[in-house]
Amino acid sequence: MTKLTKTSTPGIFRRHVRECAGGRCNCAYVIVWRHRGKQQTETFRTFAEAREAKGNREAGDKRPVSRIRFGEYFEEWIETYAGRTSQGFSESSRHVYRLEVSGAPMKRWKTWKLAEVEPADVRSLFGQMRRDDVSTVRLKRTRAALSAMFATAVDDGLLRSNPIAGVRIPASLDLEEDEEPQVKAMTREQLALVLFALPEKWKLFFELLTHSGLRIGEAVGLRWEHVDLGESPRLLVREQIYKGKRKKLKSKAGRRDIPLSPGMAARLLAHRRDRYGGADAAVFATGPGNPYLPQQIARDALNPAREAAGLGWVTFHTFRHTCASLLFHEGRNIKQVSEWLGHADPSFTLRTYVHLLDAGVGGAEFFDEVFVGARDEQPAPV
C-alpha cells in the first residue's frame, strides 16, 4: 500500500505508485475528510478535480461516494425499481430496461465503481454504439434506462450527480435514420376497400377502431360497462389488454371519453343485444366470452382483408392514424385530436400528424358518412 504524500494544499495528497521517481508524474490525487466520525478518502486524476471536491466537502457535502460497482448496483436496482412517477413501472418496461443495460453498458462498465462513470464515458459509449449501427430507437431506450438508474442512485445518496443528464444521443451516420417515420393514414377510398374485404363479423370492430382511434390494446380490452349508449353515447377508455393481461392505462391522458356518432351507437346497441355477456364482459369476445387477442384478429380478419385490398402496409395502428386524418379533415384542432387519441402532450400530436393538417372535441356524426356504402357494395378500386 503506497503512502499519501502532502501537497501544498492542506487536505489534498498525492498517492505515488511504487515505480514513481517523484517530480512531474501522473499519480493520483487524494482528498481526506471525516464523515460521521470516520475518515473518508476519495481519489482523483487531476489536482483541479481534487480541489473542487475538497471545496464541496468544506461547503458541507461530506457524504462519501459509494464504492458499489456498476454491475452490482444494476442487479439490485432493476429488481426493485418502482418508477419515478405516480404511474409506477410496468414489468414490460423492466424487461426492456434489463435488456438494454445488460448489453453495451454492462460490457463496458460492469466492474467500474458507479461513481466512476462520467459524462465523457457516457458520450463514448453512445458514440461506439452508434458506430456499431445501433438504431436511434435502441439508443433512446438505453439512455432512458441508464438515466433512471443513475437518478435513483443520486436519490439514494450514492452519487452527487447523474452522468446521463445533458448527454445527447449522437446523430446517425445515416442522415435519414434519425428522421421520424412519417405516419400513413388511409384515404376514405382505401378504408372502404379494407372494410369491404373484412368478414362481416369484424366490420363493426374495425369501424369502431377508425371512429375512436383506440389503440389495439384498448379496443380488445373494451368492456360493456365502459360503453355508454344513453343520451350522449360515448366510450369510456379506462383500461387495456397488453400481452394477454388486463392492465391500467399507461398515462392519465389515456383515460378519456370518446363521443360516438348516432349511427355507431345504434350499431353497438344491436351488437350488445346479440352478444351481451354482462357489464364485465368484453365488447368483442370469443365464444367463451374471453376478449380476442390482437394476433387472432390479425390472422382471421386484418391480414386477409388488407391483402385483398392491395394495401399490405395497413396495420392496426393505421386505423388510429386514419381517425386522426379524418378528425383534421373535419376541422378539429391539435388539442382536440390530442385529447381524442389520448396523447399526453399536444406537441407530440403535432409532430406526428403535422403532414396531415390542411376547440371541445366536437361531435362525431360525420363518422356515419365515412362507413356508408362500405358494408354492402364493392367500392371502386384506388
Provide the phi-psi class of 11: left if phi over 0, else alpha when psi is between -120 and 50, else beta: left
Phi, psi (deg, nearest 5) at residue 65: -70, 135
Ordered strands of the 234-237 beta sheet: 227-228, 234-237, 256-259
Q: Mind listing the pLDDT tens digit for each residue in 5-50?
A: 888 888 888 888 877 766 678 788 888 877 666 777 778 778 888 8
Q: Mind listing the pLDDT tens digit for each residue in 223-269?
A: 999 999 999 999 999 998 887 788 888 778 889 999 999 999 999 99
User: In sequence order, what are the beta bridge partners of 38?
Assistant: 35
Q: Mind listing the pLDDT tens digit for each residue in 166-205?
A: 888 887 655 444 444 567 899 999 999 999 999 999 999 9
Could you tell me if 209 and 319 are in contact, meaning their C-beta atoms sit under 8 angstroms apart? yes
Ordered strands of the 12-15 beta sheet: 4-6, 12-15, 28-35, 38-44
Distance of alpha carbon 239 from alpha carbon 246, whole angstroms:
7
Distance of alpha carbon 192 from alpha carbon 371, whole angstroms:
7
Distance of alpha carbon 203 from alpha carbon 282, whole angstroms:
17
CATH superfamily of the domain spanning 188-371: Intergrase catalytic core (1.10.443.10)
Report the predicted TM-score, pTM, of the whole model to 2 decimal places: 0.56
Q: Mind listing the pLDDT tens digit for each residue in 112-155?
A: 988 889 999 999 999 999 888 888 888 988 999 999 999 998 88
Q: Which residue has 390472422 as its cell numbers?
A: 299
Residue type, 125: L
Domains of the chain: which residue ranges?
Answer: 4-58, 70-155, 188-371
In 3D space, the residue among 365, 73, 381 whose CA is nearest the CA of residue 197 turns out to be 381
Q: What is the pLDDT of residue 25?
A: 80
In 3D space, the residue among 61, 42, 40, 382 whose CA is nearest the CA of residue 196 turns out to be 382
Distance of alpha carbon 80 from alpha carbon 89, whole angstroms:
10
Distance of alpha carbon 45 from alpha carbon 29, whole angstroms:
6
State the CATH architecture for 70-155. Orthogonal Bundle (1.10)
